[in-house]
Amino acid sequence: MMPVQGISSLLVTALLAPIVNMLEILTNDRSVVAWDRSAGTASCWGQPTAGGDCTMINFHGITHVYSTLFAFLAINQDLGIGHCWGDVRYGGNCSTVNFQGVSRIHSTEKIFLVINDRTGSGHCWGATGGAGNCSGIDFQGTTVYDNNVAFAAVKAGTGSCRCFGPSARGGNCSSIDCSDVSQIFRNRYAFVALSRRQNWTLQSWGHFDYGGVMLTGPECPLKIVPGFWRPGGLCSAIDYQALELEDHRLTTWISRDREIRWSKLLRITHVYSTYFAFLALDQVSGAGECWGRVDGGGLCEQVDFQGVTDVFSNGFAFVALRKAYGTAQCWGHPQKGGDCSSQDFRNVTDIYSTSFAFVALSGSTGVAQCWGDAAYGGDCTSVDLHGIDKVYDNGFAFVALNTASGVGRCWGHPEHGGDCSHIDFTGITQIHSTAYAFIGTGPSRSTPVCWGGGDFGGTCYQTSTSTSEVPTQTATDTVQNTTNAPKRSGVIGSEADRALFHPLFLSLSVFSLCFFAPCWL
């Protein structure tokens, strides 16, 4: 991400916000909102142009808060009122949006989408040229999925799916057969659609380098049918019948070098992803297939998936763990977590990640092992992690917490949260993060503690204490700022996981965790 001009001088005279117990902490990439729902007020800090200044926002009656990368949306669902602030190019201006009857809200890095299920209408705003056009889409009865920049709306039972956003990054699904799609997975710039009743078929679309297509063009999305692979769309006219064996076990996966490979997938029980690749796994038979960039985890021919109990990922690599045997296999970028050949996985119970590194913890012995990029958490040889019961991360650093003793340990990039030697962790039970900083809270703490990138949430400034006046039903407040400005196993689950509202309540890292899939969809 591009560095931005420091803003500490603008806030040097500010006092720490009076934070009371059990506030809801919400973050985007560079700012923090500490929201007191009962009082109808909030304090914001971080980069003012990315949502760190909410002085003009009235939080009275607010029911949900959402974010893009550099903006926030606070909505009163009952009155149909919405307030936006932050960078207008990322959704910080919603003055023309009608929030009456809004029942669902979704967001990507740059786009907000609100849906009125009664009328089926939708409204999206944010990045010009990146939001796509959702005005003509009927959202009634749809399930909406999103990656970092695009949306996919699937209407169950009708075979209808509409995508919008940048077409090369998942916004074009015109060649996808959605007749029996039961679930969609995603990484940063690609989608994968699963059809269970159609022989566990997978279809992938989006950016080539992120596993969206297997040929050189967006017109050839990858389609995986158990026993063989084939491109879809305009490439589906290729005759592969001559290449299929009688038992349908031949893979017709044609990649850039026209390579033909064999597949052992007969069903799909799990789908995982890094930033750049996907893994489809049949945990019953112990077979797996990967696609996408090789240095992002897209090649796993040498991996034995028999007995794998858990799969973990960061931005560039996968880890397949066999707990019963105390072994693991890693693949992807070797310097960013794809090489774990020197690690001992006996007694490992949990694995966590930043964008570029992993840490494996043993619950019985308290031993921790790290690998990947040392600058971003891949080296913890000098960190004492005995007694640790919680681990948190942003994209660049780890925080390990012993809530009983009030001890916290940090490692990774020192300017982005990897140095917490000056922090008193007494009473801290929960850690939140922006992309570059951490915020610690707890029921016995009257104020939060912050560290990391000071301009991006790492210093708990008071930039605003919002008003609590009762709003009128037609009011919509907007603050306009024009300043320039990637865990655990992904079991295929039910659609009930996608609540009507899916706010970033008490979030850890908005864009560090959720886009290192597998994320629940």
Per-residue pLDDT of the chain in tens (521 residues, 90 and over written 9)? 333 323 222 222 233 334 434 689 999 999 999 999 999 999 999 999 999 999 999 999 999 999 999 999 999 999 999 999 999 999 999 999 999 999 999 999 999 999 999 999 999 999 865 555 788 899 999 999 999 999 999 987 787 899 999 988 999 998 888 888 888 999 999 999 988 776 677 888 999 889 886 433 344 455 555 444 444 443 333 333 333 333 333 233 333 333 334 456 778 889 999 999 999 999 888 999 898 899 999 999 899 999 999 999 999 999 999 999 999 999 999 999 999 999 999 999 999 999 999 999 987 777 899 999 999 999 999 998 888 889 999 999 999 999 889 999 999 999 999 999 999 999 999 999 999 999 999 988 888 999 999 899 999 865 455 554 443 332 333 333 322 223 433 333 322 222 222 233 233 333 333 333 333 32
Q: 224 - beta bridge partners?
A: 202, 229
Distance between CA atoms of residues 154 and 139, nearest Å? 9
Order of strands across the sheet that contains 437-441: 430-433, 437-441, 449-452
Task: Kindly state whether residue 506 falls inside one of the protein's structural domains.
Answer: no
Which residue in the block uniquely carries the two structure tokens 């786009």? Answer: 111
What would the two tokens of residue 476 be?
């919509």
pLDDT one-digit tens code per residue, 274-314: 999 999 999 888 999 898 899 999 999 899 999 999 999 99
Check: CB of residue 377 under 8 Å from CB of residue 354.
yes
Burial of 156 (0-12, 13-18, 19+ CB in 10 A): middle
For residue 334, report the phi and psi dihedrals to the nearest 5 degrees.
Answer: -65, -30
Contacts of 197 (CB under 8 A, 6+ apart): 180, 182
d(CA 250, CA 240): 10
Q: What is the DSSP letter of 181?
A: -
Residue 230 CA to residue 199 CA, distance in Å, equals 14
Whole-angstrom distance, CA of residue 77 vs CA of residue 380: 45
Spatial contact of 307 and 292, defined as CB atoms under 8 Å apart: no
**What pairs with residue 311 in β-bridges?**
320
**Residue 358 domain-assigned?**
yes
Residue 70 domain flag: yes
Which residue range(s) make up the domain with 212? 25-495
Give first-to-last CA distance, the chain, whole Å: 26
CA 387 to mean position of chain CA atoms: 29
Answer whether residue 10 is part of any domain: no
pLDDT tens digits, 176-197: 888 888 889 999 999 999 887 7
469 to each of 55, 60, 61, 483, how far by Cα in Å? 13, 6, 9, 29
Instruction: Determine the Cα–Cα distance for residues 330 and 358; give it in Å rounded to an integer.
Output: 11
Q: Is the pTM of this model over 0.85?
A: no
If one counts the domains in the chain, the total is 1
* Sign, CA torsion 77/80/81/85: positive
DSSP of 9-21: GGGTTPPPP-PPT
Question: CA-to-CA distance for 291 and 332, rounded, in angstroms?
Answer: 11
Residue 244: inside a domain, yes or no? yes
**Contact criterion met (CB below 8 Å) for 274 and 318:** yes
DSSP single-letter state for residue 470: P
Q: With contact defined as beta carbons under 8 Å apart, do 80 and 89 qualify?
A: no
Instruction: Identify whether 517 is part of a domain.
Output: no
Whether residue 84 lies inside any domain: the answer is: yes
User: Would 515 be classed as within a structural domain?
Assistant: no
Note whether 145 and 183 are within 8 A (CB).
Answer: no
Tokens representing residue 77 in the block: 């669902």
DSSP code, position 469: P
Radius of gyration of the chain (CA): 23
